[in-house]
Structure 1
Amino acid sequence: MDSNSIWTAEDAAGDFVRVLKQARDSGPQEIRDVTGVYVLKAVSDGTKGDVAKSLMKLRPKG
Structure 2
Amino acid sequence: MDSKGIWSAEEAQGDFDRVLEQARSVGPQEINDPTGIYVLKVKLDRTKLDAARFLANNGPKS
Relative to the length of structure 1, the TM-score reads 0.67
- Percent of matched pairs sharing the same residue: 66
Larger radius of gyration: 2
For 1:41 and 1:12, the matched residues in 2 are separated by: 14
Higher helix fraction: Structure 1 or Structure 2?
Answer: 1
Specify every segment of 5 or more residues in structure 1 that has no aligned partner in the other structure, as ranges. 49-62
Specify every segment of 5 or more residues in structure 2 that has no aligned partner in the other structure, as ranges. 49-62
RMSD over aligned CA atoms reads 1.6
Instruction: Kindly report structure 1 stretches of 4+ aligned residues shifted beyond 6 Å.
Output: none
Relative to the length of structure 2, the TM-score reads 0.67
Q: How much has 1:43 moved relative to structure 2?
A: 1.0
